[in-house]
Structure 1
Amino acid sequence: MKIILVQKKRLKSHYIMIHPIWVISFFFLLIVFFVTAISLVSLYLIAERKNMVTDDVVKGWIKSLDQQRREIDDIKNETDSYLDSLAVKLGNLESRTSDLDRLGALLIIKAGLRDNDLDCYVNSGNKLENYYSDNTCFSIKERIDQLFLKVKDREQQCVLLDKLLNQSRHYKEVLIAGMPVEKGWISSPYGRRIDPFTGKVSWHNGIDFAGKSGTNILAVAGGLITWVGYRNSYGLLVEINHGNGRITRYAHNQSVTVKVGDVVMKKQCIAQMGSSGRATGDHLHFEVWVNGEVVNPMQYLLQ
Structure 2
Amino acid sequence: MNIIVINSKRGHSRTLPVPRHWPWLLAAVFVLLPALIGVGAYQLVYHVGDQPEYTPLMTARFADQLNEQEKALSELDQLSQEQFRALTLKLAQAQARLVRLDALGERLVEVADVGSDEFDFSTVPGLGGPESADEGTSYELPSFMEAVDQMAETLERRERQLDILEDLLADKQIEDQTWLSGRPLSKGWMSSRFGRRSDPFTGRVAWHKGVDFAGKEGTPIVATGSGVVTFSGVKSGYGKMVEVNHGNGITTRYGHALELLVEPGEIVRTGDVIAKVGNSGRSTGPHVHYEVLKNGAQVNPQPYIYRARR
For normalisation by structure 1, the TM-score amounts to: 0.60
Match of 1:177 in 2: 181
Please state if 1:233 is matched with 2:242.
no
Measure the CA separation in 2 of the matches of 1:224 and 1:112: 25
- Structure 2 unpaired stretches of 5+: 5-14, 49-76, 78-83, 115-124, 128-138
Helix, strand or coil at the partner of 1:164:
helix
After superposition, give the CA deviation of every residue in 1:240-263 in whole Å (9 maximum; x if it has no partner): 233444321111112222233433
Measure the CA separation in 2 of the matches of 1:189 and 1:25: 150
| CA deviation after TM superposition for structure 1 residue 155, in Å | 3.1
Measure the CA separation in 1 of the matches of 2:300 and 2:31: 137
Please state if 1:216 is matched with 2:224.
no
Match of 1:29 in 2: 32
After superposition, give the CA deviation of every residue in 1:4-39 in whole Å (9 maximum; x if it has no partner): 268xxxx8967849889x865553322334455678
Please state if 1:289 is matched with 2:293.
yes
Structure 1 residues 288 and 19, CA gap change in structure 2 (3 angstroms): same
- Which letter maps to 2:33? L
Measure the CA separation in 2 of the matches of 1:161 and 1:196: 53
Measure the CA separation in 2 of the matches of 1:101 and 1:225: 34
Match of 1:186 in 2: 190
**8 Å CA contact retained: 1:4, 1:16:** no
Measure the CA separation in 2 of the matches of 1:271 and 1:12: 155
Match of 2:260 in 1: 256
Of stretches 213-222 and 149-158 in structure 1, the one that deviates more from structure 2 is 149-158
Please state if 1:246 is matched with 2:250.
yes
Of stretches 228-237 and 267-276 in structure 1, the one that deviates more from structure 2 is 228-237
| CA deviation after TM superposition for structure 1 residue 178, in Å | 2.3
- Which letter maps to 1:4? N
Match of 2:2 in 1: 4
Match of 1:145 in 2: 149
**8 Å CA contact retained: 1:5, 1:15:** no
| Structure with more of its chain in helix, by fraction | 1
What does 1:1-303 correspond to in 2, within 5 Å? 3-4=1-2, 16=20, 26-34=29-37, 97=98, 106-112=106-112, 137-303=141-307
Structure 1 residues 126 and 287, CA gap change in structure 2 (3 angstroms): same
| CA deviation after TM superposition for structure 1 residue 156, in Å | 2.8
Count of aligned positions = 239
The alignment yields a C-alpha RMSD, in angstroms, of: 4.7
Measure the CA separation in 2 of the matches of 1:283 and 1:185: 9
- Structure 1 unpaired stretches of 5+: 46-74, 76-81, 115-124, 128-134
Q: Taking every aligned residue pair, what percent have the same amino acid on both sides?
A: 34
| CA deviation after TM superposition for structure 1 residue 108, in Å | 4.5
| CA deviation after TM superposition for structure 1 residue 291, in Å | 2.2
Helix, strand or coil at the partner of 2:237:
helix
Structure 1 residues 156 and 126, CA gap change in structure 2 (3 angstroms): farther
| CA deviation after TM superposition for structure 1 residue 287, in Å | 0.8
**8 Å CA contact retained: 1:179, 1:220:** yes
Structure 1 residues 5 and 16, CA gap change in structure 2 (3 angstroms): farther
**8 Å CA contact retained: 1:223, 1:240:** yes
Of stretches 195-204 and 284-293 in structure 1, the one that deviates more from structure 2 is 195-204
For normalisation by structure 2, the TM-score amounts to: 0.59
**8 Å CA contact retained: 2:238, 2:281:** yes
Structure 1 residues 180 and 19, CA gap change in structure 2 (3 angstroms): same
| CA deviation after TM superposition for structure 1 residue 229, in Å | 3.0
**8 Å CA contact retained: 2:182, 2:305:** yes
Structure 1 residues 12 and 244, CA gap change in structure 2 (3 angstroms): closer
Helix, strand or coil at the partner of 1:144:
helix
